[in-house]
Amino acid sequence: MLAKASQTLSGYFALFAEALPDHWALGDAKGGYLCTNLGLRALMKLLRRLIVFVERDGTRTVALDSSDIVERVHPLVAPILTYFRTADPADVARFRNRGSSLASVDQNCLQLMAIIYSALPTFDLPEVKKYIESQDAESTKRAKDMIDEINHILFEDVLVRLKERYGEDREAWWVQDVPKAVRNDCDRQYNENNGEHDRWQYLYLINYADIVTSGANWELFKDYYNFYGKGAKATLVRWIGKVNKARTVTHHAEKGPLSKDQVAFVTRVHELVKTHIAGRVSVDPKKRYLAEEPAALREALAS
């Protein structure tokens, strides 16, 4: 029995190795995923689900030879082979960056199952249907607009507050309290683009978390940016980083829709930003405006 299981697994992995030789050869190097520890774990989980599907018509895989089992699952993995044959680095990175936890491996397995389902609607196992139903494509479009508005509000607010405090003469506001690493990155992009825009127009959404918590800047922003109540200042603006993670999905259609929980999180942050930052309504430092996210949402926002 162990020999048969080993032969089945070997033949199953060979489907990927032979169809995707360049990707498989990368292993854990940049751009590789399937032939990594995390990828192999996800593929093994997937194989168990494929066998469950194969057995729905009464087939007893325990009675089949290993080569027969591989032959039965081959058509099911074909959409995955097609996907990774044309996947760009961002597609692969999304799988790699989910992490090594059991939940992350399960998430990657479900994503692989969703790829199969999109090409073969008969692959309608309950868990993959539940996973797909949890993804909110239409609301993701609305979330994209909300994130764009959040980004615009933070950009305008940060520039106004720093200029008020440090002045615009010789760009003192930019030099004095925008962290050097952030300035250097903006300068690099400014130089690469031949000065087409001002340096600060190359700020990313994630940069505002570093700016508002830098040095004395927190005194300017804490009454409007603290959505978590008590804690270290960096943790009080972690919502910026989480919205930025959601942005990597909303602004890259190939990465798939946000989950309903992610959409709800972006919606709540959008409300708070409009009220407290754009509307200049001070927060109550003793109040928690954002609840602790469920484990699944924390996983998604951290991936």
pLDDT digits (tens, 9 = 90+) for 118-147: 899 999 999 988 888 777 677 888 899 999
As a whole number, the mean pLDDT across the chain is 89
Percent of the chain with pLDDT over 70: 94
Could you state, in order of their start, the residue ranges of all structural domains in the chain?
Answer: 2-133, 137-302
Nearest CA-CA partner of 247 in 205, 202, 188, 297: 205
- pLDDT surpasses 80 at 252: no
pLDDT digits (tens, 9 = 90+) for 152-197: 999 999 999 999 988 877 788 998 889 999 999 999 999 888 777 8
Whole-angstrom distance, CA of residue 48 vs CA of residue 238: 38
pTM: 0.57
